[in-house]
Structure 1
Amino acid sequence: MSADRAALQRALDRGEREGGSVEFKERLTRTTHLADGRLESLVAQLRHRILSGDGEATYVVGVTDNGGIAGISPAAFSESMDVLSLLADEAGAHIDDVETWGVGDGADADGLVGVATLREGSVLEADDDHIVVGTAGHVDHGKSTLVGSLVTGSADDGQGGTRSFLDVRPHEMERGLSADLSYGVYGFDEDGPVRMDNPHRKSDRAEIVKSANRLVSFVDTVGHEPWLRTTIRGLVGQKLDYGLLVVAADDGPTRTTREHLGILLATELPTIVAITKTDMVSGERVDEVEREVERVLRNADRTPLSVGRHGVAAAIDEISEQVVPIVATSAVTKVGLDTLDELFEQLPKTGAEEGAFSMYVDRTYNVTGVGAVASGTIRSGGVEAGDELVVGPLADGTFRPVEVRSIEMHYHRVDEAAAGRIVGIALKGIRESDLERGMVLLPRESDPAAVREFEAEVMVLNHPTRIDDGYEPVVHLETVSETASIHPEGGQLLPGDTGVARVRFKFRAYSIEEGQRFVFREGRSKGVGTVTGITGVE
Structure 2
Amino acid sequence: ERPEEKLEKPCAAVAPKEEALKPKDMDRSTSDDDDEEADGYQQKGVSIDDLSDDWVEAQMKDVTVAVIGNVDSGKSTLVGVLTKGGLDDGRGLARAKVFNFSHEAANGRTSSIAQEIMGFSQSGEQVLIDRMGTSTANSRNQTWQQVVSQSERLVTFSDLCGHEKYLKTTIFGLVGQCPDYTMIIVNANAGFQRMSREHLGIALALRIPFFIVITKIDIAPQNVFDENLAQLHKIVKSNAVKRQPLVVTSEDHLEQAATGIYGKQVCPMFCISNVTGEGLPLLRSFLQRLPSRLQDSGLFKPPSSPAEFHIDSIYVVPGVGLVVGGVVRSGRICPGQHLLLGPDKVSQFKPVMVKTIQYKRVTVEMAESGQHCSFALRSLVKRETLKKSMFRKGMVMLGPELQPKAIWSFKAEARWTVGFDFSSQSILNCALVSAHFASICPAAVCGASRNVDVPVQLCRSHGDQD
Q: TM-score range by the shorter chain?
A: 0.7 to 0.9
Distance 1:255 1:448 in 2: 42
Residue 194 (str. 1) matches residue 127 (str. 2): yes
Q: Deviations over 1:494-523 (max 9, x none)?
A: xxxxx9997953148x9xxxxxxxxx998x
Question: What is the CA-CA distance between 1:412 and the residue it aligns to?
Answer: 2.1
Aligned to 2:3: none
List aligned pairs for 1:214-293, cutoff 5 A.
214-293=153-232
Farther-moved stretch of structure 1 (445-454 vs 241-250): 445-454
Aligned to 2:106: 174
Check conservation: 1:379, 1:419, Cα contact below 8 A: yes
Match of 1:484 among 441, 444, 460: 444
Question: What is the CA-CA distance between 1:178 and the residue it aligns to?
Answer: 1.0
Q: Deviations over 1:40-70 (max 9, x none)?
A: xxxxxxxxxxxxxxxxxxxxxxxxxxxxxxx
Aligned to 2:301: 354
Q: Deviations over 1:173-192 (max 9, x none)?
A: 11111111111001111231
Check conservation: 2:415, 2:427, Cα contact below 8 A: no
Q: Deviations over 1:429-468 (max 9, x none)?
A: 13222111011122232212323334545332139x9832
**For residue 330 of structure 1, what is the amino acid of its counterpart?**
S
- Give the structure with higher Rg (CA): 1
Q: Deviations over 1:61-88 (max 9, x none)?
A: xxxxxxxxxxxxxxxxxxxxxxxxxxxx
Distance 2:149 2:211 in 1: 28
Residue 127 (str. 1) matches residue 59 (str. 2): yes
Check conservation: 1:316, 1:347, Cα contact below 8 A: yes
Distance 1:484 1:143, change over 3 A: same
Question: What is the CA-CA distance between 1:285 and the residue it aligns to?
Answer: 3.4
Distance 1:145 1:369, change over 3 A: same
Q: How many residues align?
A: 385
Check conservation: 1:484, 1:504, Cα contact below 8 A: no
Residue 144 (str. 1) matches residue 76 (str. 2): yes
Distance 2:209 2:455 in 1: 27
Residue 318 (str. 1) matches residue 260 (str. 2): yes
**For residue 314 of structure 1, what is the amino acid of its counterpart?**
Q
**For residue 408 of structure 1, what is the amino acid of its counterpart?**
Q
Aligned to 1:67: none
Aligned to 1:516: none
**For residue 460 of structure 1, what is the amino acid of its counterpart?**
W
Distance 2:373 2:231 in 1: 38
Distance 2:128 2:227 in 1: 33
Find the residue that maps to 1:127 and give its secondary structure.
helix
Q: Deviations over 1:338-361 (max 9, x none)?
A: 222222212111145233332211
Check conservation: 1:371, 1:432, Cα contact below 8 A: no
Aligned to 2:117: 185
Question: What is the CA-CA distance between 1:205 and the residue it aligns to?
Answer: 1.2
Match of 1:308 among 248, 264, 271: 248
Residue 506 (str. 1) matches residue 453 (str. 2): no
Distance 2:439 2:314 in 1: 12
List aligned pairs for 1:66-77, cutoff 5 A.
none
Question: What is the CA-CA distance between 1:322 and the residue it aligns to?
Answer: 5.0
CA RMSD of aligned residues (A): 3.1
Match of 1:398 among 335, 348, 373: 348
Q: Deviations over 1:365-420 (max 9, x none)?
A: 11123221111232233322222112221111221211111112333222223233
Distance 2:108 2:143 in 1: 24
Aligned to 1:469: 429
**For residue 403 of structure 2, what is the amino acid of its counterpart?**
D
Distance 1:257 1:500 in 2: 37
Q: Deviations over 1:466-510 (max 9, x none)?
A: 832342322111111232327555349xxxxxx9997953148x9
Find the residue that maps to 1:251 and give its secondary structure.
coil
Q: Hey, which of these two has a bigger chunk of strand by percent?
A: 1
Find the residue that maps to 2:94 and give its secondary structure.
helix
Match of 2:402 among 443, 446, 458: 446
Distance 1:199 1:415 in 2: 27
**For residue 312 of structure 1, what is the amino acid of its counterpart?**
L
List aligned pairs for 1:24-103, cutoff 5 A.
none
Distance 1:152 1:462, change over 3 A: same
Distance 1:416 1:453 in 2: 35
Larger relative contact order (CA 8 Å, sep ≥ 6): 2
Check conservation: 1:458, 1:500, Cα contact below 8 A: no
Check conservation: 2:65, 2:158, Cα contact below 8 A: yes
Check conservation: 2:431, 2:448, Cα contact below 8 A: no
Match of 1:345 among 246, 266, 288: 288
- In structure 1, stretches of 5+ residues that fail to align are 1-88, 93-124, 493-498, 511-519, 523-538
Distance 1:412 1:268, change over 3 A: same
List aligned pairs for 1:148-159, cutoff 5 A.
148-159=80-91
Distance 1:286 1:521 in 2: 40
Distance 1:146 1:235 in 2: 19
Find the residue that maps to 2:195 and give its secondary structure.
helix
Distance 1:427 1:279, change over 3 A: same
Match of 1:423 among 365, 369, 373: 373
Check conservation: 2:237, 2:245, Cα contact below 8 A: no
Distance 1:502 1:210 in 2: 53
List aligned pairs for 1:510-521, cutoff 5 A.
none
Distance 2:70 2:196 in 1: 6
Distance 2:176 2:209 in 1: 16
Distance 1:232 1:521, change over 3 A: farther
Identity among equivalent pairs (%): 31
Aligned to 1:99: none
